[in-house]
């Protein structure tokens, strides 16, 4: 058992005297077994072992007594012990308890600059989790069950005893004369997982005594199928994505199963619950708004929206709607900081063989009839522009609509203006008033500034 744990750890981290490992330690059978194994390995390799105990504080004196027994075990075995206690008013919820535990483990890992966090999930836990997900409704990803390793805010969470059943764990504890805590809440079948453990699994074992192994085999098959699917999907994804955006029309010609897979990944990537209902809602919204020139948005959470236009589909957040209120006065040629860009107004008399496209972030212009001062800013009510090649003027809003600029992007566009008249909308187009007839007087262009906090 110790050799198996050692080999699993070596798959994911280097073990040496420089290593620091956090072990989630409730004092129950599983975590007692894992901590004892890790204590033996720490004597072999000399790494720092830290037992992290979270007192959920739901059972009063019983919880406190368990904490004291955990502390005593660590003191007896010279193991660093760290603990925290939840507020007694914390709602007794399985989901909340899990979230609070992992938050605590992550804080411990940060404090000790740990190389990994170890949790004592077993084969029996894994089988129960798979069955729980089947009962609640899950897809292939859910059928993979508990993974041997996962990421937690930059820290590896490793489950070194995931290949051992509860019987294996109990046998190890008895053989090594360990005396784990017996949490009385583990027998309370009002909690779904306890109900599965004490009632549903025993009933299934009447039909299939080998149900744990059968469920683990199912997880392995699901994981294998997912690898195949992900490789195939990557090829398809390359054909329909540009950065974080999907090409809407390319997405819509996919079959329904592939569409569902793409939306599932999008929701997971944005930390959203990928339920079948939500997936279908987003697919329907994309289909219904596929012809929109300037795009439509669907609220997905309080601070996230799905944007769909005839060209692109992607998520937007509150950041997209933040407007730069700053106004920069331009008295002469030079470099001006505006948001995350530098706007350069550069004198030139260069003969131009080929002018940049209107949608580029540079332009050769004639300012001889305009002159300074000018202003850099974002849009305002009442703005107008004389579009390139046109005699008349129009409202900037209509100009943006004609250019198919999405609503959430319009406040991001940098404008070179004289009073309420826009002369250049960077990346969108140029005013007829800046047309170069002979030689340009100035070159306008944008440069992305380096992130000083990077």
Tell how strand 116-118 and strand 20-24 pair up.
parallel
Say whether 298 sits in a helix, a strand or coil: strand
Q: Which tokens go with 401?
A: 């609509």
Residue 382: predicted pLDDT = 93
| Residue pLDDT, tens place only, 186-234 | 667 777 888 998 899 999 999 999 999 999 999 999 999 989 988 888 8
CB 116 within 8 A of CB 13: yes
| Residue pLDDT, tens place only, 34-89 | 999 999 999 999 999 999 998 877 777 888 888 899 999 999 999 999 998 887 77
Q: DSSP characters for 84-111? A: EE--TTS---HHHHHHHHHHHHHHHHHH
| Residue pLDDT, tens place only, 19-43 | 999 999 998 999 999 999 999 999 9
Q: Which tokens go with 446?
A: 């944008």
Candidates 3.30.465, 1.10.3720, 3.30.70, 1.20.1530; CATH matching 244-320: 3.30.465
Q: Is the dihedral of CA 109, 115, 120, 125 positive or negative?
A: positive
**H helical segments located in 154-269:** 166-175, 192-195, 201-207, 211-240, 248-252, 256-269
CB 276 within 8 A of CB 138: no
Domain ranges of the chain: 2-213, 244-320, 328-448
pTM over 0.75: no
CATH fold of 2-213 reads Rossmann fold (3.40.50)
DSSP 380: -
Residue 165: predicted pLDDT = 92
Using alpha carbons, list the distances in angstroms from residue 448 to 267, 296, 315, 413, 445: 30, 28, 23, 14, 10
CB 424 within 8 A of CB 317: no
CB 374 within 8 A of CB 417: yes
Q: Is the pLDDT of residue 91 over 50?
A: yes
| Residue pLDDT, tens place only, 395-454 | 999 999 998 888 888 888 999 999 999 999 999 999 999 998 888 999 999 988 765 443
> Which H or E run includes 156?
strand 155-158
Name which of 96, 112, 117 is nearest 23 in CA terms.
117
């Amino acid at each position: 058992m110790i050799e198996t744990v050692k080999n699993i750890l070596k798959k994911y981290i280097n073990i040496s005297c420089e290593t620091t490992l956090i072990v989630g330690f409730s004092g129950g059978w599983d975590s007692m077994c894992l901590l004892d194994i890790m204590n033996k390995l720490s004597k072999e390799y000399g790494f720092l072992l830290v037992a992290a105990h979270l007192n959920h504080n739901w059972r009063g004196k019983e919880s406190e007594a368990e904490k004291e027994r955990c502390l005593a075990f660590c003191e007896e075995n010279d193991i660093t012990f760290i603990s925290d206690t939840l507020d007694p008013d914390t709602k007794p919820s399985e989901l909340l308890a899990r979230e609070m535990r992992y938050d605590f483990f992550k804080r411990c890992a940060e404090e000790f600059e740990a190389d990994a966090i170890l949790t004592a999930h077993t084969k029996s836990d894994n089988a129960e989790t798979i069955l729980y997900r089947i009962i609640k409704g899950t897809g292939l990803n859910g059928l993979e069950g508990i993974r041997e390793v996962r990421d937690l805010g930059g820290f590896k969470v490793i489950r070194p005893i995931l290949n051992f059943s509860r019987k294996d764990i109990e046998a190890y504890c008895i053989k090594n004369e360990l005396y784990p805590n017996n949490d009385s809440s583990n027998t309370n079948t009002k909690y779904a997982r306890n109900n599965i453990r004490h009632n549903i699994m025993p009933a299934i074992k009447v039909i299939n005594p080998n149900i744990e192994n059968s469920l683990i085999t199912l997880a392995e098959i699901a994981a294998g199928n997912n690898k195949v699917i992900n490789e195939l999907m990557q090829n398809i994804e390359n054909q329909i994505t540009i950065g974080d955006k999907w090409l809407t029309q390319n997405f819509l010609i996919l079959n329904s199963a592939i569409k569902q897979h793409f939306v599932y990944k999008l929701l997971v990537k944005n930390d959203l619950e990928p339920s079948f209902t939500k997936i279908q809602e987003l697919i329907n919204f994309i289909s219904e708004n596929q012809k929109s020139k300037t795009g439509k948005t669907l609220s997905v959470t309080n601070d996230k929206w799905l944007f769909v236009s005839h060209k692109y589909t992607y998520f937007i957040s509150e950041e997209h709607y933040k407007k730069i209120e700053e106004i920069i006065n331009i008295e002469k040629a030079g470099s001006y900081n505006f948001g995350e860009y530098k706007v350069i107004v550069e004198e030139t008399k260069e003969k131009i063989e080929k002018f940049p496209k209107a949608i580029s972030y540079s332009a050769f212009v004639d300012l001889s009839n305009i002159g300074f001062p000018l202003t850099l800013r974002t849009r305002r009510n009442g703005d107008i522009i004389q579009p390139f090649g046109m005699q008349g003027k129009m409202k900037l809003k209509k100009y943006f609509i004609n250019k198919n600029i999405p609503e959430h992007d319009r406040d991001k566009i940098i404008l070179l203006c004289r009073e309420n008249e826009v002369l250049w909308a960077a990346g969108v187009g140029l005013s007829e008033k800046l047309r170069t007839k002979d030689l340009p007087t100035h070159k306008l262009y944008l440069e992305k500034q380096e992130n000083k906090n990077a």
